[in-house]
Amino acid sequence: MKYVIWKAYWDYEKEERWLNEMSARGLAMSDYSWCRYVFADAQKGEYNYRIELLENMPTHPESMAYLRFLEESGVEVVTTYMRWVYLRKPASEGAFDLYTDLDSKIRHYQRINYFWTALMIAEFGAAVANLGIGIANLFLNERLGNFSYGNLIIGSCVLALGILFLVLDIPIRRKIRKLRQEKAIHE
């Protein structure tokens, strides 16, 4: 039987834990699209799940080669969404870790950091443009059109989104810093 669950996650590690909890309940993820998870009945704890942000889109030759390598290693690609890939491996095959060394963990967190930073910069740019147009238009007695308040509202909303992306990126930056400190200790 199929089950559809609508749920939003900003933190991929929490999402990963939730997918593994669902597996422990006997539900195996079979598909994902924006905030929409599809599950099917399975044995309890049959799979372990991992989520990874690829360097390139899944259709890029490097990503395709990497995903083929994972499949040859016994890892199943459940689905992809933008640059995110949802992976699973039978729990009977033991632990499922994608990153076995500090350098690969740091690189993965940096990819996520760049992702949030790019979104944050785009939102701040749109906010500055909309707020600037709105304020300038108010001072010019709406010679540029009568959408000044609309620009101010849109600018405020995208500014809030930019701040949200900044806040969401803070834990990722802390993890990168912690992993770099750990690496420095081991060297």
Q: Are 53 and 45 in contact (CB under 8 A)?
A: no
Nearest to 96 by CA among 140, 52, 63, 34: 52
Stretch 74-86: mean pLDDT: 95
Question: Does the pLDDT at position 158 exceed 70?
Answer: yes
Each residue's pLDDT tens digit, 92-141: 998 888 888 889 999 999 999 999 999 999 999 999 999 998 888 888 77
Q: How confident is the model at residue 142 (pLDDT cuts 50, 70, 90)?
A: low
Mean pLDDT (the chain, rounded):
92
Q: How confident is the model at residue 143 (pLDDT cuts 50, 70, 90)?
A: low
pTM: 0.82
Q: Which residues are within 8 A (CB) of 97 and not within 5 positions of it... i.e. 6 or more apart? A: 50
Stretch 47-61: mean pLDDT: 95
| Whole-number pLDDT of residue 98 | 87
Going across the sheet that includes 27-33, the strands are 2-6, 36-41, 27-33
| Whole-number pLDDT of residue 134 | 87
| Whole-number pLDDT of residue 144 | 60
- DSSP structure class, residue 55: S
| Whole-number pLDDT of residue 186 | 79
